[in-house]
Amino acid sequence: MNALLGLLKIKIRRGRNLAVRDAVSSDPYVVVLMGRQKLKTQVIHDNCNPVWNEELTLSIKDLSLPIKLTVYDKDTFSGDDRMGEAVIDINDYIESLKMGLENLPDGTKVNRVQPNRNNCLADESAIVWNKGKITQDMILRLKNVESGLLEIGLEWVEVPGCKGLM
């Protein structure tokens, strides 16, 4: 059993231009999977541009496990429809955390991550020092779907008595 390294807060902010899966709209929600952990946002009814602003927290024990986000359309009488998925690559974020930075001015960009074939980024993503923490905002392009973006944010939480990243 791996020791707990810390917690990763994932703020599921909003979806943009999500696919229509019902007659004229969708009832989207997001499922976050990492290993055996499964977290879920609330359902936003009749909206292809939902705003969740929900914080989901993963316990991180193994940095090699992928974090997968899948958007679904909630259906009452049949199985929920998939509306695309994205995998978050947290390697650059973790490397920035390991730098052990302190006392930087708020808004300092520690690193920039460019979209490429190995990540789901729709645009450049900045890793930023803000209020004593390192955060990363991402706009993810959903895969296996005709359209859709997911806006999220990451924030690491040190847990007292844990092994940590160092």
Q: Could you tell me the domains of the chain?
A: 6-89+137-157 (2.60.40.150)
3-state secondary structure of 80: coil
Average pLDDT, the chain: 93
Q: Are 44 and 27 in contact (CB under 8 A)?
A: yes
Q: Are 41 and 54 in contact (CB under 8 A)?
A: yes
Distance, in Å, from the CA atom of 99 to the CA atom of 108, rounded to the nearest integer, reads: 14
pTM, two decimals, is 0.94
Distance, in Å, from the CA atom of 141 to the CA atom of 138, rounded to the nearest integer, reads: 10
Q: Are 67 and 40 in contact (CB under 8 A)?
A: no
Q: Are 47 and 89 in contact (CB under 8 A)?
A: no
Tokens of 136: 């990363």
Contact partners, residue 162, CB within 8 Å, separation at least 6: 3, 4, 5, 6
Order of all β-strands in the sheet with 149-157: 51-60, 6-16, 149-157, 133-141, 125-130, 108-113
Q: Does 135 have pLDDT greater than 70?
A: yes
In tens, the pLDDT along 85-130 reads 999 989 999 999 999 888 899 999 999 999 988 889 999 999 999 9
CB neighbourhood size of 146 (10 A): 11
Element (H, E) at 105: none
Residue of 162 and 8 predicted with greater confidence:
8
Q: Does 163 have pLDDT greater than 80?
A: no
